[in-house]
Amino acid sequence: MFKNFIMKIIVITGPTASGKSDISLEIARRLSGEIISADSMQLYKGLDIGAAKPDKRELETVPHHLIDLFEISERLDVFRYVELADKAICEIRKRGHVPVIAGGTGMYIRALLYGLDPLPSNPELRTKLDAEFDSEPGFEKLKDLMSVKDPGDFQRWKQHRRKLIRALEVFEITGKSITELQKTWKDNPSLRYDVFAGTLVWDRDELKKRIETRTDKMLESGWVDEAREMIKQGLLQSPTAHQALGYKIIAEYLEGLIDRETMRCRIITSTWQYARRQITWFKNQHPESIPIKMPTDMEKLIEEIRMAGF
């Protein structure tokens, strides 16, 4: 029959504020592509300014996917993202268009490209485990439990509450250690797609400046009001969306605990720390990706992508 036909996709990643949206929009426009967001927070409705979603004009220029799909009260995870992205890629290819994955959530992108081992999960069990162990005193109990039940994983993650809870979840379902069930990704990095992947790379000081400028822009365009509204809707208590950067800091400002300048500085600092983690991630977890020095020559980049068969 047909050989396993591997679909071609383009992936543009990079740290926050590196210009992924602009670059991918341009690529999509030129190569009749459609954009799939790879951003854990853009999936949520209402986090518009804070998640730096593309604006109306950009959304009209090129079709976008995996944006505004869920309420902030919903729980999301990598597995769910991969399902959605796979589906979106399929549909775009059916239309004869090129999927352009654009985003900074490295874990989602790596999982999409290299796949996830079929580790089981059970939402009810997980909720129960979280309630029991995801706290300071719970962590102590968890360590005691895991050290006898699953010593291997305990050794591996003994200081990492969340990973230990996940290990316990898998252990409860399968009776096996999660470490045993996971193939190490680096031993067998086989791609699920035929991909052209680029990581946007900036000079550090440049990127810092961009983060500052963008933060100011976000604040000017009403981020505080957006945050007030989302907090009212329960953002801070939400299972996943509460992790979105900045909102917790803005909450402190709204409560009068810090002044506006302090808020601004703290947002910039935590955004920078996030960017650094992303840089580390993309540097070490994505052998498929080539660095794209920014600012880049768009013509040359498009040419390069065309040469790769798009």
Q: Based on CB atoms, which residue is closest to RNA, 196 or 281? A: 281
DSSP code string of 114-156 = H--------HHHHHHHHHHHSSHHHHHHHHHHHHHH-HHHHHH
189 Cβ contact list (under 8 Å, min separation 6): 114, 287, 288
Please report whether residue 77 would count as binding RNA according to CB under 7 A: yes
Residue 264 in contact with RNA, rule: CB under 7 A: no
Select 222 or 298, whichever has its Cβ closest to RNA. Answer: 222
In the chain, what is the straight-line distance between the N-terminal and C-terminal CA atoms, in Å?
24
Is residue 98 near RNA by the rule CB under 7 A?
Answer: no
Spatial separation of the C-alpha atoms in residues 109 and 211, rounded to whole Å: 22
Residue window 194-233: x/- pattern of binding to RNA, with contact defined by CB under 7 A = ----------x-----------------------------
Q: Are strands 98-102 and 289-293 parallel, antiparallel or unpaired?
A: unpaired
Q: Does the footprint of RNA cover residue 273 (CB under 7 A)?
A: yes
CA dist., res. 111 & res. 52, Å (int): 23
Question: Does position 165 bind RNA by CB under 7 A?
Answer: yes
176-195 footprint of RNA as x/- string (CB under 7 A): --x---xxxxx---------
| 15 touches RNA (CB under 7 A) | no
Q: Is residue 169 exposed (0-12), middle (13-18) or buried (19+ Cβ within 10 Å)?
A: buried
Residues near RNA, by CB under 7 A: 16, 39-42, 47, 50-52, 75-80, 104-108, 111, 116-121, 126, 130, 134, 159-163, 165-166, 178, 182-186, 204, 239-240, 243-246, 269-270, 272-274, 276-278, 280-281, 283-285
